[in-house]
Amino acid sequence: MEDCPIKNQLNSIKEAVEKIENGAKDKLNAVWIETSGCFGEVISLFDGLTPNIIYLLDKLVNMTYFGSIMADEGDHAYERLLEVMNKDYILIVSGAIPKKDNGLFTVLATYKNEKITASKAIDMLSEKAKHIIAVGTCASFGGPTAANPNISEAVSLREFLNRDDIISIPGCPANLIWTYGILSYLVNNGTPELDYLGRPTAYYGELIHDNCERRRYFDLGIFAKKLGDKECMFMLGCKGPVTYAYCPISKWDLSNNWPVGSSTVCIGCANPGFPDENEPFIQYGGKNL
């Protein structure tokens, strides 16, 4: 993703929109399946101001199916999912996929008296999808939905489909600018460079710790004693040293802020083992890695 440097992510989005508007590229066709989770990915997307959801839907993506915002209901809504399979399309999934009881923990629709589970829809749509994107830590790794005791036996998209070509954008929630960045990269260039977990290296290539504004304190061995102190929060259990994500660079919605900037430790929400392997999130009096 060399020609899509992180600092130019807005330029990349603009470039994709210009190519679509001058006919050099087509808008992406996509369906967004929301399965088991807290819908945080969708809230993150809807809260975005720069760019916002209207811009995404108007300029970049024909979103044929998106349960949280689509006007269609009932059979007609489900038929929109079936229609898209006659085109080139991208399958976007947020949330983990419950496997217990044939996936009945998440039912997307009842169509002709059949309950269409998220697992059935994802199975069907994945067959012909040009690209498959997991948005958020639940879809990428199982996340909180698959955390102990995982009563619905939920799994990540990668595990459910048993495929290693899925583009994963972990984060709890995923940073919306990464989602936009990947969609625009698909328009401009095609599949981005991915690491062994399917994460785009442009957004997950470096440790949070290596880009953190408090790193100087860490190097000098000066540590915060409580939340709110200005020093490095390593001794409070910050997971920045073991978490690969560009949070300190991207920040949130161009706000110039991010968890450590708000004086909370990084809890490693973009990590594969989140949350079980990252608890306790805060620990006073010693390191917690």
Nearest approach in angstroms of CB 257 to ligand F3S is 11
Residue nearest to ligand SF4 (CB): 240
Please report, as ranges, the residues that interact with ligand SF4 according to CB under 6 A. Answer: 208-209, 212, 214-215, 218, 232-234, 238, 240-241, 260, 266
CB of 17 closer than 8 Å to CB of 54: no
Q: Which is nearer to ligand F3S, 123 or 231 (CB)?
A: 231
241 binds, among ligand F3S, ligand SF4, none (CB under 5 to 8 A by kind): ligand SF4
Where are any strands of DSSP class E within 78-166? 90-94, 97-98, 107-111, 114-117, 131-135, 154-155
CB of 44 closer than 8 Å to CB of 52: no
Strand pairing category for 167-169 and 107-111: unpaired
Q: Which is nearer to ligand F3S, 106 or 175 (CB)?
A: 175
Bridge partners (DSSP) listed for residue 135 = 94, 169
Nearest approach in angstroms of CB 40 to ligand F3S is 11
CB of 128 closer than 8 Å to CB of 69: no
Tally of CB atoms within 10 A around 164: 10
Peptide bond into 275 cis (omega under 30): yes
270 binds, among ligand SF4, ligand F3S, none (CB under 5 to 8 A by kind): ligand F3S
232 binds, among ligand F3S, ligand SF4, none (CB under 5 to 8 A by kind): ligand SF4
What is the DSSP-derived secondary structure letter of residue 60?
Answer: I
Nearest approach in angstroms of CB 200 to ligand SF4 is 21
258 binds, among ligand F3S, ligand SF4, none (CB under 5 to 8 A by kind): ligand F3S
Alpha carbon dihedral 49, 255, 250, 280, in 10-degree steps, equals -110
Strand pairing category for 167-169 and 131-135: parallel
200 binds, among ligand SF4, ligand F3S, none (CB under 5 to 8 A by kind): none
144 binds, among ligand SF4, ligand F3S, none (CB under 5 to 8 A by kind): none
Please report, as ranges, the residues that interact with ligand F3S according to CB under 6 A. Answer: 171, 208, 243, 245, 247, 258-259, 266-270
Q: Which is nearer to ligand F3S, 171 or 181 (CB)?
A: 171
The two tokens of residue 189 are 């260039």
Nearest approach in angstroms of CB 193 to ligand SF4 is 24
